[in-house]
Amino acid sequence: MRRRRIRPPGLVVVALALVAPSCRSHQQILEDQQKALASLTATVTTIGDAWVSGKVSARYARTSLEAAQQLLSRRRDELGSSPKLLADPSLAAVSQAQEALSRRIALIWSAVDRGDTAAARAQLETAGRADGGAP
C-alpha cells in the first residue's frame, strides 16, 4: 500500500502568497499603493504632531517612525521589484511620493532624536503642503 504524500498547508500558503501579487491588476496595485501611502502619511503626521505637542515621548515617536519606515519600505519593494509596474506613470508617481515620504520620515526621526521641535514642525508643515493632493 502506497502512502499518500500530504503537502504541508504552510507550503501552499507561501506559494499562494508569492503568486497573489502578480494576479492583481495594475489598477488594484495602484489603489492599494495609494491607500497605503495616504495611511502612512497620516500616521507619520500624527506621530510628529503628537511629539511636537509633547503628547508622546521621543522614544515612542522614534520607535513609531521606524515602524512606519519599515512598512513603507515593504511597499516600495513591491513596486521597485517590477520594471513593468514602474513603467506605469501612475505607479511611478506613487513610487516618487513614497521616496519623498521616506526622506521626510528620516528627517522627522532625526529632529526627534535631536530634540529639535522646530525642525520637526517644519517637516510636518512641508508635508502638509506637499500631501494636500496626495496621489
List pLDDT tens digits, range 30-66: 999 999 999 999 999 999 999 999 999 999 999 999 9
Counted domains in the chain:
1
Task: Report if residue 3 sits inside a domain.
Answer: no
CA-to-CA distance for 14 and 55, rounded, in angstroms? 41
Task: Tell me the whole-structure pTM to 2 decimals.
Answer: 0.76
- Tell me if 89 is assigned to some domain: yes
Owning domain of residue 116: 31-128
Q: Up-side HSE of residue 5: CA atoms within 13 Å toward CB? A: 1
In a domain, 1, yes or no: no
11 located within any domain: no
Task: Quote the pLDDT of residue 45.
Answer: 95
Burial 27-57 (b: 16+ CB within 10 A, else e): eebbeebbebbeebbebbbebbeebbeeebe
